[in-house]
Amino acid sequence: MKAFNKIAVIGKYPSIEESSDIHDQLIQLVGHLSQKPFELYIEEKTQKQINLDGVQSIALKDIGSKVDLAIIVGGDGTLIGVARNMVHSDTPLIGVNQGRFGFLADLNTNSMFSNIDTILNGEFIEDKRMLINTKIMRGNKKVYESLSLNDVVIKSGVRLIELDVIINDAFVHRQRSDGIIVSTPTGTTAYALSAGGPILHPNLDAISIVPISPHTLSNRPIAVNAGSQINIKIINMNEAYASIDGQIKFPLDIRDVIQISKAKESISILHPKDYCYFEMLRNKLNWG
C-alpha cells in the first residue's frame, strides 16, 4: 500500500474565477484535507485565487519532487496540463471532475470527499497511462520537442495539407486532408474520437493514427504498436501547425518532419476501487 504524507491541491487553469463552483469546491476540499494528518500544499496560482490563509503554497514545477500525491479539481484539460508538468516524477494524480466529460478526472464532486478518503486509506486502483514524444525536425535540426498525454495533431490552416505517413521507415500513404491525429489510447476518447477514430483501451500498448476530413475517403484510421517510429513529412501546405494535447501550438514549415514515438515516461492516475473503464465509457458516451 502506497503511503501519502504530502498532498498538493491544484485548481483549474487558466482562471478559477471562470467557475464559482470550482472555487467553492476547492475551499471545501482544502478544509476537508486540513483536518487530516497530512502536510498540505496549494499550488501557488490556485492559492492566489482562492486566497486561503494557513496553507502553504507551492510552485507547479516543484510539486512532482516535493509531494506524494496531487489532487486536481477541474476537468481533463486541467489534469493533462498538470500531468505534462509533472511527468518526470512518480507522483500520482487524482482528478475531480468539474468539466463536461471527465474521462480522466473521474471523481464526482458530490462524492469526492468519501472517494478521496478511501484512496488516502490505500484503497485504490492505479492506472498507468502512456505518453508520446513529438520531435519536429527542420532539416537536420530539432526545432521543437514535447510530450503528450492525449495526442499530437498536425492541422492545416485555411487549405488542405498534403502529408506522407511513414512507419518504421516503411511508406504507408500520402494523404490530402485537413490534418492528422496521432493519439495515445488515452487520447482516443478526445479529438480522435470526434474524427472517427477507434477507442483504444488504456492498457493497450498502441498508438492510433486518424486522418481529419481526408480528401480520399479510403484513408481510414489505423492503430500500430506503440513501439513504432511514426514520421509525418509535410509535402505541401499553405499554413499548418502542430497541436500538443490541444494546449500548445507550434507553427510548421514546409521542410518539417514530425517524429512521433512512445515516451519513456508515463503518468499514474488513482481511481476508487470500484472504478470500471467500461462503466465510465457507458456513462460519458451515453451507451445503452
CATH 2.60.200.30 segments of the chain: 131-266
Task: Give the cell for residue 143.
Answer: 526545432
Q: What is the pLDDT of residues 59-111, one digit of tens each?
A: 999 999 999 999 999 889 999 999 998 998 989 999 998 766 779 988 988 88
Q: Right CATH number for 6-122 from 3.40.50.300, 3.40.50.10330, 3.40.50.1100, 3.40.50.1980? A: 3.40.50.10330
Q: Which of these, 126, 119, 132, 9, lies nearest to 72 by C-alpha position? A: 9
Q: Tell me how far apart the alpha carbons of residues 30 and 185 are, in angstroms, rounded to a whole number.
A: 32
Instruction: Find the catalytic residue in 21, 62, 76, 151.
Output: 76
Element (H, E) at 14: none
**SS3 state at 76:** helix
Rounded CA Rg of the chain = 20
Q: Which of these, 142, 85, 111, lies nearest to 265 by C-alpha position? A: 85
Q: Which of these, 186, 196, 202, lies nearest to 246 by C-alpha position? A: 186
Residue 58's CB is within 10 A of a number of other CB atoms, namely 22
CATH 3.40.50.10330 segments of the chain: 6-122
Active site annotation includes 245: no
Q: Which of these, 8, 86, 79, lies nearest to 44 by C-alpha position? A: 8
pLDDT tens by residue, the chain, 288 residues: 467 999 999 998 545 445 667 788 899 999 999 999 999 999 999 998 888 878 999 999 999 999 999 999 988 999 999 999 899 898 999 999 876 677 998 898 888 999 999 999 999 999 999 999 999 999 889 999 999 999 999 999 888 999 999 999 999 999 999 999 999 999 999 999 999 999 999 999 999 999 999 998 888 999 999 999 999 999 999 999 999 999 999 999 999 999 999 999 999 999 999 999 999 999 889 897
Q: Is 3.30.1330.40 the CATH number for 131-266?
A: no
